[in-house]
Chains A and B, each alone.
Chain A
Amino acid sequence: MKVSVWKGGAEGRFRQFEVPRQASQTVLDVVTYIQRSLDPTLAYRYACRVGMCGSCAMTVNGVPRWTCRTHVDRVLDKDSLSIGPLKNLPVIRDLVTDMREFFDKWARAQGQFKGNRSKRDDFQAVKPASAERMQVDAAIECIGCGVCYSACDVVAWNPDYLGPAALNRAWTLVRDERDRNAVARLRAVAGDAGCHSCHTHMSCTERCPKQLSPTAGIAGLKREVAKSILRGEF
């Protein structure tokens, strides 16, 4: 099959390779074959290769996916495949992107837990069946792979937009009854750069490899910000 792979940085071109088909072949298998047998200068990222770490995320036929979890059979388009780096992120080289901005936005969204107990205090019991805990459970499994960020149109249109992953993480903390940073966090996620710029395209929810729904979390953030404004906390 014919495989087009992005070579270069921000400037570059798609280079064509002829790759043999195998049974149960994944896109990561294809990239690895190319690097080992056809073009040793090809740069790409992977780690676990079993769909747990999210390192191998790339743009396959225009769609961001985990390449180790994408079977060639499922995405082959008339005997050809196109592989590029994740969109919405600066390209370091070939298929490798610079993810610093992705994680910086995570920090800007106050995506860190801030509690007020020390090891000397008794631990706080959180009922697993409480409504808040269940909302957190639905969103907590994010491993920061960047697929949602790469799929988001608003991230592409507005460089300041914090993005689905950062906002989703902020949501899990807003719903964490142990957290003490609520107002500062809501201020951080409100506004043009935050939750109010989500236009519910739901590309993030559609593409998340862990079936999370950042759209749901962002909708929750909008509600919480509205409530907070009404309470006069802003």
Chain B
Amino acid sequence: MAVHLATVIYAVQGGLSAAEILVRTRGNAAGFAFYSLFVLAVTVHAPIGLRSVLIEWLGWRGRSRDLFLLIFAAALAWMGMRAAVGVFA
């Protein structure tokens, strides 16, 4: 998490451009490995956190809530890996 934050702040110095970013990331196996792990972590962490919010603030009880979260997690995983491949492959 901290690594990502530092990376973002570093990358943003002096403006952003696709070329700038992609030239550094394309073909970077270590970067791909790191961010794949990151996507996995996020896919697990975000739904768990949202679960408390759904129960306590939306009063969503029952299996449908957990099913929704599972679908959300799957969506995050798919989109996340698509992004990782897009940037690092």
Contact = CB atoms under 8 A, between A and B. Distances in A.
A–B contact (CB under 8 angstroms): yes
Interface of A: 154, 157-158, 192, 197, 199
- Per CB-CB distance, the 4 closest pairs between chain A and chain B, nearest first, are A157-B56, A158-B56, A158-B55, A192-B55
Interface string B43-55: 0000000001001
Given A192-B55, A197-B56, A199-B52, 6 more contacts: A154-B56, A157-B55, A157-B56, A157-B57, A158-B55, A158-B56
Contacts of B56: 154, 157-158, 197
Contacts of A154: 56
5 contacts: A157-B55, A157-B57, A158-B55, A158-B56, A192-B55
A167 to B, nearest CB: 16
A50 B32 CA distance: 67
Contacts of A192: 55
A216 to B, nearest CB: 21
Contacts of B57: 157
Contacts of A157: 55-57
Nearest to A156: B56
A210 to B, nearest CB: 28
A199 B57 CA distance: 13
